[in-house]
């Protein structure tokens, strides 16, 4: 299986966050003469981080809300069935090589990988940089390369593993690798990165990768690989995070997603956004540095909303009745789901597609967070909580049970999450304990983009999502974009079932 074209262009034209990534490369130096100083290398690192933000590769392709729509927690939504057809297709598992969000995901992640590889190659040629600086940059670049490969593995299964930049001849010789080999590269990069990542970062570096983020992503990758013989390794690396003493649960669950509480005690890895660029519609250009806002916030808001607290959105990801029912009585409900019909004096477009009357609360657009300039939909500054401590506790509990480890320790981790919201302790064991952990993951992490991958890796997707059109053996992965297959002269092989 060969592959021809990778979407690879060095585009280092924006910063990545409102915390530390404020350097703005301006394209004033040719690539061949760049990466000579620590400042230039840092600008290159900014470019690798920058891809984490991209919302609009080949259409609007925000991973978190799209994953919610693919799961049983939410629907596609929008104005009507023709509004963002790729969202509707994945929601109904009617994707095909020409229809779905796959081109955006493919393009974004391989652009991120290219940037990481270019930086890793160029830093080896640089002179006059400190050893400490070099090691940290290499570690961050490898973490990010691992993150992009991991997303590709989960989205596509068979994917390209790229650890160097490619010349024109190289495009025809790179082979697709099975998902286990893609995950092996993810693990290798993370194991290489972790020793040289800092334990903590200062206030002017919030958003940069730490050891805790590296270990947490490694544990998540091992869990996704679903090899019970490796669960003790997952448990060990996740317990390193727990035992570091650097993270804790927010006392109040409702505070986690407040913009005023970004990079809080529970946050291990956040994807940062800001309204600093004051982006407007005329500036929008395939997500490549023209804005730094989180347009996913706009997507999940109530369409044509008028009332207090919330700002109007576009009506995507209406919450499913199934999740509403499952969370009924759970203390986290009010901080997870908006009951639109219960808001006194408010109104919204009830005719929007797949409307249920329930909407995402964790990432809802709020009037208080509205940007003061530019196009409001493009300038939401809400960070994405990519990995938080509660997730690590639940992953560790699962890994311990699956490895045959201490059930009392697993119960303790699970019950810390439950106690935070006043729920009774779980005392079950064996498979019942494992199922309790899976249930808790759904309740705790609802509408954060975890549910679909959890269903796939635990083998539950067909039974849970079958009524939506999910077919086992096909819909665990998206199709390879037909545009990429065409560009490869059919050297790139399509996934099973498409």
Per-residue confidence band for 78, with pLDDT thresholds at 50, 70 and 90: very high
pLDDT at 24: 40
Instruction: Please state the domain extents for the chain.
Output: 1-61+101-209+460-498
Cα(466)–Cα(475) distance, integer angstroms: 10
State the average pLDDT over residues 42-49.
96
The angle at the Cα of 281, spanning 280 to 284, to the nearest 5 degrees, equals: 95
pLDDT at 31: 65
The proportion of the chain whose per-residue pLDDT surpasses 90, expressed as a percent, equals 81
pLDDT at 490: 83
pLDDT, the chain, mean: 91
Cα(365)–Cα(397) distance, integer angstroms: 33
Given a cut of 90, whether residue 264 has pLDDT beyond it is yes
Per-residue confidence band for 32, with pLDDT thresholds at 50, 70 and 90: low
pLDDT at 5: 33
What lies within 8 Å, CB to CB, of 57 at 6+ separation is: 103, 104, 105, 107, 108, 111, 286, 287
> For the segment 372-416, what is each residue's pLDDT rounded down to a tens digit?
888 899 999 999 999 999 999 999 999 999 999 999 999 999 999
Per-residue confidence band for 203, with pLDDT thresholds at 50, 70 and 90: confident
State the average pLDDT over residues 330-352.
97
pLDDT at 282: 67
Cα(154)–Cα(297) distance, integer angstroms: 23
> For the segment 209-244, what is each residue's pLDDT rounded down to a tens digit?
999 999 999 999 999 999 999 999 999 999 999 999
pTM of the model: 0.93
> For the segment 276-315, what is each residue's pLDDT rounded down to a tens digit?
877 777 665 544 445 789 999 999 999 999 999 999 999 9
Assigned token pair, 390:
């509660």
Given a cut of 80, whether residue 2 has pLDDT beyond it is no
Q: Which residue has the higher pLDDT, 371 or 339?
A: 339
Per-residue confidence band for 170, with pLDDT thresholds at 50, 70 and 90: low
Whose CA is closest to 311, among 294, 298, 295?
Answer: 298
- What does 85-98 look like in DSSP terms, one character per residue? HHHHHHHTT--BTT
State the average pLDDT over residues 141-151.
98
What lies within 8 Å, CB to CB, of 379 at 6+ separation is: 275, 277, 278, 279, 291, 293, 371, 373
> Which of 178-182, 295-299, 451-455, 491-495 shows the lowest per-residue confidence on average (mean pLDDT)?
491-495
> For the segment 446-480, what is each residue's pLDDT rounded down to a tens digit?
999 999 999 999 999 999 999 999 999 999 999 99
What distances in angstroms separate CA 338 from CA 332, 346, 347, one per listed residue? 11, 12, 13
Per-residue confidence band for 275, with pLDDT thresholds at 50, 70 and 90: confident
> Which of 89-103, 250-264, 272-286, 440-454 shows the lowest per-residue confidence on average (mean pLDDT)?
272-286
Cα(42)–Cα(133) distance, integer angstroms: 9
The second-level CATH assignment, the architecture, of 1-61+101-209+460-498 is Alpha Horseshoe (1.25)
DSSP 3-state of 57: coil
Q: Which residue has the higher pLDDT, 203 or 411?
A: 411
What lies within 8 Å, CB to CB, of 373 at 6+ separation is: 275, 278, 379
pLDDT at 168: 64
């Amino acid at each position: 299986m060969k592959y021809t074209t990778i979407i690879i262009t060095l585009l280092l034209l924006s910063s990545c966050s409102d915390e530390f990534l404020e350097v703005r490369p301006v394209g004033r130096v040719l690539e061949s003469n760049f990466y000579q100083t620590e400042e230039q290398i840092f600008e290159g690192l900014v470019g690798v981080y920058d891809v984490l933000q991209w919302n609009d590769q080949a259409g609007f392709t925000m991973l978190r809300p799209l994953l919610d729509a693919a799961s049983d927690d939410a629907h596609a939504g929008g104005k009507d069935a023709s509004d963002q057809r790729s969202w509707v297709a994945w929601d109904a598992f009617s994707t095909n090589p020409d229809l779905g969000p796959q081109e955006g995901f493919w393009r974004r992640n391989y652009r991120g990988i290219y940037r990481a590889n270019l930086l890793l190659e160029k830093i080896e040629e640089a002179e006059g940089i400190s050893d400490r600086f070099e090691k940290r940059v290499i570690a961050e670049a490898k973490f990010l390369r691992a993150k992009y490969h991991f997303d590709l593995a989960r989205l596509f299964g068979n994917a390209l593993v790229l650890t160097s930049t490619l010349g024109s001849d190289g495009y025809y010789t790179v082979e697709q690798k099975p998902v286990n080999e893609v995950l092996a590269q993810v693990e290798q990069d993370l194991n290489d990165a972790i020793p040289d990542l800092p334990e903590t970062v200062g206030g002017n570096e919030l958003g940069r990768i730490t050891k805790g983020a590296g270990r947490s992503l490694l544990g998540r990758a091992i869990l996704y690989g679903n090899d019970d013989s490796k669960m003790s390794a997952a448990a060990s690396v996740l317990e390193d995070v727990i035992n570091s003493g650097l993270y804790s649960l927010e006392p109040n669950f409702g505070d986690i997603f407040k913009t005023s509480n970004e990079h809080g005690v529970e946050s291990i890895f956040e994807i940062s956004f800001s309204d600093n660029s004051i982006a407007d519609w005329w500036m929008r250009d395939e997500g490549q540095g023209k804005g730094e806002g989180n347009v996913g916030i706009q997507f999940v808001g109530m369409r044509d909303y008028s009332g207090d607290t919330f700002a109007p959105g576009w009506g995507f990801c209406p919450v499913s009745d199934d999740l509403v029912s499952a969370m009924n009585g759970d203390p986290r409900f009010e901080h997870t789901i908006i009951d639109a019909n219960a808001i006194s004096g408010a109104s919204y477009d009830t005719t929007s597609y797949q409307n249920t009357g329930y909407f995402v609360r964790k990432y809802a657009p709020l009037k208080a967070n509205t940007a003061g300039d530019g196009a409001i939909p493009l300038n939401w500054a809400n960070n994405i909580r990519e990995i938080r401590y509660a997730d690590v506790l639940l992953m560790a509990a699962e890994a311990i049970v699956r490895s045959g480890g201490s059930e009392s320790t697993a119960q303790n981790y699970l019950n810390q999450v439950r106690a935070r919201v006043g729920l009774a302790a779980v005392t079950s064991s064996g498979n019942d304990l494992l199922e309790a952990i899976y249930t808790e993951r759904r309740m705790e992490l609802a509408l954060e983009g975890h549910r679909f991958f959890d269903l796939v890796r635990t083998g539950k997707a067909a039974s849970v999502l079958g009524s939506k059109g999910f077919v086992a053996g096909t819909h665990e992965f998206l199709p390879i974009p037909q545009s990429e297959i065409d560009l490869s002269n059919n050297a790139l092989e399509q996934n099973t079932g498409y």
